[in-house]
């Protein structure tokens, strides 16, 4: 996941060719948002509307593969 720290968007490295959903959780484990991914190019996800802070970013593919990482959003 890059850039990290991020401000406006992130991309997932090891470009996922699979479709799925990325979930964003705050430090308390509360789901803050999610975005669907269609698997057509390097995944890029908008961080608009998310406050600065630490998050867990979890991608779950339609084939039920899970990729997760920590994310720092800065102002």
Q: How far is the first Cα of the chain from the last one, in angstroms, to the nearest whole number?
A: 18
In this prediction, residues 23-52 reach a mean pLDDT of: 89
| Domain 9-73 CATH assignment equals 3.40.50.300 | no
Split at pLDDT 50, 70, 90, the class of 70 is very high
Across all residues in the chain, what is the average pLDDT? Answer: 88
**pLDDT for residue 16:** 60
How many other C-beta atoms can be found within 10 angstroms of the C-beta atom of residue 74? 10
Residue pair 19/38 in contact by the 8 Å Cβ criterion: yes
Domain boundaries, the chain: 9-73
Split at pLDDT 50, 70, 90, the class of 38 is confident
């Amino acid at each position: 996941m890059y850039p990290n720290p991020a401000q406006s968007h992130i991309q997932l490295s090891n470009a996922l060719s699979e479709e799925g959903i990325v979930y964003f959780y705050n430090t308390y484990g509360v789901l803050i948002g999610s975005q669907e991914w269609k698997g057509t190019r390097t995944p890029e996800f908008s961080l608009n509307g998310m406050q600065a802070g630490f998050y867990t970013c979890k991608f779950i593919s339609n084939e039920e593969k899970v990729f997760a990482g920590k994310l720092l959003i800065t102002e």
